[in-house]
Amino acid sequence: MATASHHSSATGGATIEIEQQPPRKLPDFHANVNLKYVKLGYHYLVTNLLTLCLLPLIAVTAVHATQLNLDDINNLYNHLQYHLIAVTAVTFIAVIGFTTYRMTRPRPVYLVDYSCYRPPDHLKVPYQVFMDHSRVHGAFNESSLEFQRKILERSGLGEETYLPAALHTIPAVPSMATAREEAEQVMFGALDDLFKSTKVNPKDIGILVVNCSLFNPTPSLSSMIVNKYKLRGNIRSFNLSGMGCSAGVIAVDLAKDMLQVHRNTYAVVVSTENITQNWYFGNKKSMLIPNCLFRVGCAAVLLSNKSGDHRRSKYKLLHVVRTHYGSDDTAFKCVYQEQDDAGNTGVSLSKELMTVVAGALKSNITTLGPLVLPISEQLLFFVVLVGRKLISSKIKPYLPDFKMAFEHFCIHAGGRAVIDEMEKNLKLTEEHVEPSRMTLHRFGNTSSSSIWYELAYSEAKGRMKKGNRVWQIAFGSGFKCNSAVWEAVRTVKPSVHNPWEDCIHKYPVKIKF
pLDDT tens digits, residue range 354-385? 999 999 998 999 899 889 998 888 888 778 77
The average pLDDT across 64-92 equals 65
Q: Is the pLDDT of residue 333 over 80?
A: yes
Helix, strand or coil for residue 299? strand
The average pLDDT across 257-275 equals 96
Q: Which residues are catalytic?
A: 245, 324, 408, 412, 441, 445
Residue 298 belongs to what H/E stretch?
Answer: strand 298-304
CA 220-209-302 angle, to 5 degrees, is 135
Q: Which one is predicted more confidently, 6 or 507? A: 507
Q: Is the pLDDT of residue 16 over 50?
A: no
Most confident of 16-20, 168-172, 484-488: 484-488
Q: Is the pLDDT of residue 489 over 70?
A: yes
Q: Which one is predicted more confidently, 350 or 29? A: 350
Residue 241: name the closest of 211, 271, 273 by CA.
Answer: 211
Residue 165 CB partners (closer than 8 Å, separation 6+): 123, 178, 181, 182
Instruction: Express each pLDDT in 136-153 by its tens digit.
Output: 887 899 999 999 999 999
Q: How far is the C-alpha of 292 from the C-alpha of 158, rounded, in Å? A: 11
CA 22-28-33 angle, to 5 degrees, is 145
Residue 191 CB partners (closer than 8 Å, separation 6+): 115, 225, 228, 229, 268, 270, 300
Task: Answer for the pair 322, 255: CB distance below 8 angstroms, yes or no.
Answer: no
Residue 321: name the closest of 356, 271, 373, 272 by CA.
Answer: 373
pLDDT grade, residue 80 (50/70/90)?
low
Instruction: Express each pLDDT in 419-475 by its tens digit.
Output: 999 999 899 999 999 999 999 999 999 999 999 999 999 999 999 999 999 999 999
Q: Which one is predicted more confidently, 285 or 59? A: 285
Strands 480-488 and 315-324: antiparallel
Q: How far is the C-alpha of 227 from the C-alpha of 231, rounded, in Å? A: 7
Task: Answer for the pair 460, 501: CB distance below 8 angstroms, yes or no.
Answer: yes
pLDDT of the residue at 20: 39
pLDDT of the residue at 60: 65
pLDDT grade, residue 409 (50/70/90)?
very high
Residue 268: name the closest of 236, 298, 300 by CA.
Answer: 300
Instruction: Express each pLDDT in 180-211 by its tens digit.
Output: 999 999 999 999 999 999 999 999 999 999 99
Q: Is the pLDDT of residue 282 over 70?
A: yes
Transcribe 373-421 into DSSP letters: S-HHHHHHHHHHHHHHHHT-TTSPPP---GGGT-SEEEE--S-HHHHHH
Q: Is the pLDDT of residue 232 over 80?
A: yes
pLDDT grade, residue 48 (50/70/90)?
low
Sign of CA dihedral 442, 447, 449, 450: positive
In this structure, the dihedral spanned by the alpha carbons of residues 424, 430, 436 and 437, taken in order and rounded to 10 degrees, is 100
pLDDT of the residue at 320: 97
Name which of 24-38, 93-107, 123-137, 287-301 the model is least confident about.
24-38
Q: Which residues of 195-223 are buried (b: 16+ CB within 10 A; e: fewer)?
A: bebbebebeebbbbbbbbbbbebeebbbb
